[in-house]
């Protein structure tokens, strides 16, 4: 085993993954070597890299670096002090190599939210047992330094709520549907053509990627073990252009919104489509941008906005972590020691909220009354209700838009089930939570 490098020796990086993020990191290190050394107090150098295809052209000169086909071998090299995991995937190479590095006491920087969402607790325990840093700024909201803000800048606060739009692809799809008046399927295809979608698009549009990110933030915010399985997930596939337009008329925009808060009923984690006021910072968020909103008891509300993906923003976040390690700065992986993170009790249902309901009914006497009765019997009070005439159609159907007063999600589900039994519904109704932001 080689001797531990001193604080004045160069910090030697091994980068596993030479795609968007990995190459972004290489480019900054090559371009800004002097600046990084000045900030770190020592040189920061790449010694070895790994990817699957050694022959691929990658837009950066890698000839000075040793090549390893096996990321685990890279992680174990004596000339690697910090293992940079930017391959992706929560099993296989990413997990094996990260574990190998941490087991040897090597520091790890990763952009891999899936890995942390599924194995964050075990990896944090391994890192802390071996005196290694495990850093992951790039994993949540890309270039926005939200992990540093939560673990350091807001360390004096009790965090009350964490919210955010943390998947740029979904925000691109929703805002493009609205601005161009296009249906979901058309814009989904556009996003695919533009290369915005993950290899498995369901990670994006199913809310899974954003759910991973939320579960990581919740752990830091509330001192709990990462519990991705307890995140209530709903993707954007059922958000219709009709809902987007009707919400807009009422002064709301629809976002795939993550919310985590500790309630008297336990930890609430949701990543679901929500209506937010159009004029709020979240409502104003356009295109592929991310936004994270943090609320602390002392600081109040903080809003952070920026690029959640892409070569530059993610490499920026990775380098921020690397410089901290080079400076010798250490903190527990999730802000408090892994052994002190508690297993959260998951709130069985979300905090009551106002709901937007849209139902297509047979346009005949008593239809609306039947729907209203279902709501009344479920204990739900109606705030606004209107029937929308569709002059260009004559199909004998009517669209009814209802905004409820605050209601429990379970009561809304119960009412929707009762709607179905009325026999007046023409299609499955839409129900979208209105979030107070």
Q: Which does 258 bind (CB under 5 to 8 A by kind): ligand HSE, ligand NAP, none?
A: none
Q: Which does 261 bind (CB under 5 to 8 A by kind): ligand HSE, ligand NAP, none?
A: none
Write down the least CB distance from residue 136 to ligand NAP, Å. 9
Give whichever of 17 and 142 is closer to ligand HSE, judged by the CB atom.
142
The order of strands in the sheet holding 11-16 is: 66-68, 44-50, 11-16, 82-85, 107-110, 134-135
Q: Is the dihedral of CA 93, 82, 65, 316 positive or negative?
A: positive
Write down the least CB distance from residue 218 to ligand HSE, Å. 17
DSSP string, 288-351: TEEEEEEEETTTEEEEEEEE-SSHHHHHHHHHHHHHHHHHT----TTSS-GGGPBPPPBPSSPP
Give whichever of 113 and 255 is closer to ligand NAP, judged by the CB atom.
113
- Residues shown for the chain: 437
- Could you say whether residue 344 binds ligand HSE (CB under 6 A)? no
Give whichever of 30 and 202 is closer to ligand HSE, judged by the CB atom.
202
Range 295-324, binding ligand HSE (CB under 6 A):
308-309
Give whichever of 107 and 212 is closer to ligand HSE, judged by the CB atom.
212
Range 95-154, binding ligand NAP (CB under 6 A):
111-113, 138-139, 142
Range 83-142, binding ligand HSE (CB under 6 A):
142
Write down the least CB distance from residue 120 to ligand NAP, Å. 14
Rg over CA atoms, the chain: 24
The answer to whether residue 213 is catalytic is: yes
Given 198, 232, 242, 248, the residue binding ligand HSE (CB under 6 A): 198
Binding mask 51-70 for ligand NAP (x = CB under 6 A): xxx--x--------------
- The pair phi, psi for residue 113, each rounded to 5°, is -70, -35
Quick one: tokens of 362?
Answer: 């047979």
Q: Which does 322 bind (CB under 5 to 8 A by kind): ligand NAP, ligand HSE, none?
A: none
Binding mask 379-398 for ligand NAP (x = CB under 6 A): --------------------
Check if the beta carbon of residue 48 is closer than 8 Å to that of residue 80.
yes
Which residue spans within 80-190 are E strands per DSSP?
Answer: 82-85, 107-110, 134-135, 159-165
- CA-CA distance, 113 to 225, in Å (whole number)? 15
Binding mask 382-411 for ligand HSE (x = CB under 6 A): ------------------------------
> Binding residues for ligand HSE, how many (CB under 6 A)?
9
Give whichever of 211 and 429 is closer to ligand HSE, judged by the CB atom.
211
Q: For 88, left (φ over 0), alpha (ψ -120 to 50), or beta?
A: left
- Could you say whether residue 86 binds ligand NAP (CB under 6 A)? yes
Quick one: tokens of 283?
Answer: 């409502």
DSSP string, 191-242: HHHTT-S-SSTHHHHTSHHHHHHHHHHHHHHHTB---GGGSEE--STT--HH
Specify the residue for token string 């673990």: 151
- CA-CA distance, 254 to 273, in Å (whole number)? 6
Give whichever of 17 and 273 is closer to ligand NAP, judged by the CB atom.
17
- CA-CA distance, 48 to 12, in Å (whole number)? 9
Check if the beta carbon of residue 355 is closer than 8 Å to that of residue 379.
no
- CA-CA distance, 194 to 213, in Å (whole number)? 23
> Binding residues for ligand NAP, how many (CB under 6 A)?
26
Q: Is the dihedral of CA 328, 334, 336, 337 positive or negative?
A: negative
- Could you say whether residue 211 binds ligand HSE (CB under 6 A)? no
Q: Which does 111 bind (CB under 5 to 8 A by kind): ligand NAP, ligand HSE, none?
A: ligand NAP
Write down the least CB distance from residue 21 to ligand NAP, Å. 4
Q: Tell me which residue has its CB nearest to ligand HSE.
A: 169
Give whichever of 210 and 415 is closer to ligand NAP, judged by the CB atom.
210
**Crossing angle of helices 367-377 and 409-422, rounded to 10°:** 150
Residues that bind ligand HSE (CB under 6 A): 142, 167-169, 198, 204, 209, 308-309
Residues that bind ligand NAP (CB under 6 A): 16-22, 50-53, 56, 71, 86-88, 93, 111-113, 138-139, 142, 309-310, 314
Instruction: Catalogue the active-site residues.
Output: 213
């Amino acid at each position: 085993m080689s001797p531990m490098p001193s604080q004045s020796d160069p910090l030697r990086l091994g980068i596993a993954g030479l795609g968007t993020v990995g190459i972004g990191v290489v480019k900054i290190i090559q371009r800004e070597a002097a600046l990084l050394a000045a900030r770190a107090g020592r040189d920061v150098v790449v010694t070895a890299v790994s990817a699957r295809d050694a022959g691929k052209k990658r837009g950066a000169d890698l000839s000075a670096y040793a090549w390893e086909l096996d990321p685990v071998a890279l992680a174990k090299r004596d000339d690697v002090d910090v293992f940079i995991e930017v391959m992706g995937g929560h099993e296989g190479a990413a997990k094996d190599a990260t574990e190998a590095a941490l087991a040897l006491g090597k520091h790890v920087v990763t952009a891999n939210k899936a890995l942390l969402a599924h194995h964050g607790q075990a990896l944090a325990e391994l890192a802390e047992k071996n005196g290694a840093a495990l850093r992951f700024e790039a994993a949540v909201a890309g270039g926005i330094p939200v992990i540093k803000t939560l673990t350091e800048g807001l360390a004096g606060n009790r965090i009350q709520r964490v919210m955010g739009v943390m998947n740029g692809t979904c925000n691109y799809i929703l805002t493009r549907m609205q601005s161009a008046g296009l249906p979901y399927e058309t814009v989904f295809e556009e996003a695919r053509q533009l290369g915005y979608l993950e290899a498995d698009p369901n990670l994006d549009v199913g809310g899974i990627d954003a759910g991973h990110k939320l579960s990581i933030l919740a752990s830091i915010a509330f001192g709990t073990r990462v519990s991705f399985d307890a995140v209530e997930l709903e993707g954007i596939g059922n958000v219709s252009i009709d809902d987007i337009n009707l919400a807009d008329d009422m002064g709301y925009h629809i976002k795939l919104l993550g919310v985590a808060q500790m309630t008297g009923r336990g930890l609430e984690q949701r990543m679901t489509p929500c209506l937010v006021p159009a004029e709020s910072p979240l409502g104003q968020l356009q295109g592929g941008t991310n936004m994270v909103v943090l609320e602390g008891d002392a600081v109040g509300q903080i809003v952070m906005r920026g690029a959640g993906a892409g070569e530059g923003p993610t490499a920026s976040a990775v380098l921020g972590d690397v410089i901290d390690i080079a400076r010798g700065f250490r903190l527990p992986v999730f802000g408090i020691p892994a052994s002190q993170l508690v297993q959260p009790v998951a709130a069985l249902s979300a905090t009551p909220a106002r709901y937007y309901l849209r139902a297509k009914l047979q346009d005949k006497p008593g239809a609306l009354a039947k729907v209203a009765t279902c709501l009344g019997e479920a204990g739900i009070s109606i705030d606004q209700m209107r029937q929308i005439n569709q002059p260009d159609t004559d199909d004998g159907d009517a669209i009814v838009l209802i905004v409820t007063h605050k209601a429990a999600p379970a009561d809304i589900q119960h009412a929707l089930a009762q709607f179905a039994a009325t026999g007046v519904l023409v299609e499955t109704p839409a129900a979208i939570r209105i979030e107070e932001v």
